[in-house]
Chains A and B, each alone.
Chain A
Amino acid sequence: MTDTLLFEHIDEPGLNTIDVYMARGGYTQLPIALKMKRGDLITELTGSGLRGRGGAGFPMGRKASFIPKGDMQKYVVCNADESEPGTFKDRELIQKNPHQLIEGLIIAAFAIDATINYIYIRGEYDQQGDILDAAIAEARERGMLGENIFGSGFNVQLELARGAGAYICGEETGLLDSLEGKRGNPRLKPPFPANEGLFNGPTLINNVETLSAIPSIIRLGAEGYAAIGVKDSAGTKLVSISGNVERPGNYEVALGTSSRELIYGLAGGPPDGRKVKCWFPGGSSTVVLTADDLDVGYDYDSLEAAGSALGSGAIIVVDETQSVVELAYKLAKFYSHESCGKCTPCREGTRWTFHMVERIKEGTATPMDLDIMAAVQDQIIGHCLCVLGDAMAMPIGSLIAKFRDEFEAEIETNRNAREAQLAAQFSAAEGITV
């Protein structure tokens, strides 16, 4: 089937070992790529229309073309710090098919002439890290990594680095700082990592899924790969569907598939026939969409036109029984905990948003708080070094905009409940019986 590229053979027992991977045609694209000229290889990647699968959706080939040429030490860093809430596609790829990632990474490294490369995996992925470590050792043993691979004269090293639990290290410059052994604070851009990245050298940073797609691009050719999907959203995408659905999990689909097909067709929709209240199309950091948007095509441009984004490709479905205030509370709590504290709008904005939602829950908020909260979100967006603050501001701002009635009703109910409780306490203290 043409729309199963990354997940072809995924459940085959032992696919994580090099023998089974090679028996299924693995490491056959690497020697082909190594025979190509570097410029042609980058043209091929650009022509495929592959866009970054980590969240930003930047064309992969163009990113590679920004790496300067010259003798300086260059690096490819694979971002396997998958921490965007709702996303778990890289986990499945690493755990079940680590060699596909390694093969893609070596091809990308060859394209930009990077001899030292890293995979940065989040510390929580303990078992997956061990599997990847074993796979790297196997690849080294079989001569896929090391000096003069396949007689091409290209020397390549790959090392696995583990994070230690910080959402911000999924941000590319935060990741670079963490890889350098520092606190994972994002850097000011420009200079972009393509010019000044890891250890100040030119660095190409790509997500696991992006790099894993490269062997398929070489196999199908740029045109073959670009033929899958829709205009400006080429190829297949792994979609992690979770939340209130019957069959949560990872699904590989051609970009442009309808969101309704994903949520209802593949994941089975909310259990017990409940209705969809809202859904996050690309991880918890994207603008929430409602049941009215279910027919939007699942691709970069259609979701952008609907006011949201494809993000990391993680759909979180929220059914009608859930409270939006509780949702906003969880979001604000998460982002305020994960804000690194470097930029004031994010550090303070996430924290005060959390306090304001807490007030709604306690019954001490007034309707004015809702306006302040919405204004705080506007003041975060675009005012920080990285998008962590925006990642809270976009979903919370959109929740307030789209479910204002529900927020207002909850403020009212909780305030009344609190006043009644206080009155009861007062009466009890004064010995008055009403």
Chain B
Amino acid sequence: MADVKRFTHDSRIPGWDRAADLDKQPAIVPDAATTEVPAELRAAIEDAVRRFPVGDSAFIPVLYAVQEQYGWCSPEGIIQAAAVLGRTPAALTAVATFYDMFEMEPLGRKTVYVCTNISCSLCGADELLEALEGELGEDPDVNVRGFECLGACDIAPMASVNGAYVGPIALNEVPELARQIREGEDPLPAKQMIHRPCADPKVAEK
């Protein structure tokens, strides 16, 4: 799992070491008439609001739409979403910072989450993460990170490549996997969880 970014005094909140700017105006609801919003983003937000009409319950799908549009929850995207929703950008940012899958900094669009939790680390996840970071860490298009339990302990050690679960990954398969990720190919098709039969022998007997 990624380390939480810490600022002065070990705080998770930036600004401990900076005095508040008292002259700065508080962020208000952006003007919907003057804020330009890309058409796809607006359509995605409106679809989310249609499916989750009550209160702010569309926030998470809206943030996914922003991330899809910009590759991360950029301030620009958050302001645009806030304008469409009629809420302050801060309301959206507060939610986005809580969740691990929303990126608050520009990172590679190809995500590689390596599970480093108990079951996977018992099977060598730390070495796998190190190897993948070695292969892909420098690539600006790829976001490799350790992640909480991804719920695929049966294929440990594993990684989620753009949402596709792959495992168990042997260390000697890492260069091939890294190449497939860089070139946008299907990652190790034979080892994808989606094709894996159930382990229960009673099922196989039928």
Give A240's nearest chain B residue, CB to CB.
B153
Contacts A181-B57, A248-B199, A316-B153 given; indicate if A330 touches B99 (C-beta within 8 A).
no
Q: 6 additional contacts, CB 8 Å, given A178-B60, A181-B55, A242-B119? A: A1-B202, A125-B151, A126-B164, A166-B98, A242-B156, A337-B1
Instruction: Report yes or no: A123 in contact with B153, Cβ–Cβ below 8 A.
Output: no
Q: How many residues of B contact A (CB 8 A)?
A: 55
Give chain A nearest CB distance to B192 CB in angstroms. 9
Binary interface encoding of chain A residues 233-257 relative to chain B, with 1 for a CB under 8 A from any of its CBs, else 0: 0000000101110011111100000
Interface size class of A (residues with CB under 8 A): 35 or more
A11 interface residue (CB < 8 Å to B) = yes
B107 interface residue (CB < 8 Å to A) = no
Instruction: Report yes or no: A7 in contact with B51, Cβ–Cβ below 8 A.
Output: no
Contacts A11-B204, A159-B52, A164-B102 given; indicate if A250 touches B199 (C-beta within 8 A).
yes
The stretch of A89-97, A222-230, A401-409, A416-424 in contact with B is: A89-97
Instruction: Report yes or no: B100 in contact with A327, Cβ–Cβ below 8 A.
Output: no
Contacts A88-B152, A165-B148 given; indicate if A10 touches B203 (C-beta within 8 A).
yes
Q: Which residues of A contact B (CB under 8 A)?
A: 1, 3-4, 7, 9-11, 82-88, 90-92, 95-96, 122-127, 159, 161-167, 178-184, 199, 240, 242-244, 247-252, 266, 280, 284, 314, 316, 318, 322, 326-327, 330-331, 333-334, 337-338, 340-341
Give chain A nearest CB distance to B52 CB in angstroms. 7
Binary interface encoding of chain B residues 167-206 relative to chain A, with 1 for a CB under 8 A from any of its CBs, else 0: 0000000000000000000000000001001111111101
B128 interface residue (CB < 8 Å to A) = no
**Chain A residues closer than 8 Å to B63, beta-carbon distance:** 164
Instruction: Report yes or no: A316 in contact with B119, Cβ–Cβ below 8 A.
Output: yes
**Chain B residues closer than 8 Å to A10, beta-carbon distance:** 198, 200, 203
Give chain A nearest CB distance to B196 CB in angstroms. 9
B72 interface residue (CB < 8 Å to A) = no
Instruction: Report yes or no: B113 in contact with A7, Cβ–Cβ below 8 A.
Output: no
Secondary structure class of chain B's binding surface, majority of residues: loop
B101 interface residue (CB < 8 Å to A) = yes
Give chain A nearest CB distance to B93 CB in angstroms. 11
**Chain A residues closer than 8 Å to B194, beta-carbon distance:** 95, 127
Please report the C-alpha to C-alpha distance between residue A184 and residue B160 in the assembled complex, in whole angstroms: 23
Residue in B55, B100, B165 whose beta carbon sits within 8 Å of that of A180 in the complex: B55
Residue in A181, A199, A249, A341 whose beta carbon sits within 8 Å of that of B59 in the complex: A181
Instruction: Report yes or no: B202 in contact with A183, Cβ–Cβ below 8 A.
Output: no
Give B2's nearest chain A residue, CB to CB.
A337
**Chain A residues closer than 8 Å to B54, beta-carbon distance:** 180, 199
Instruction: Report yes or no: B202 in contact with A4, Cβ–Cβ below 8 A.
Output: yes
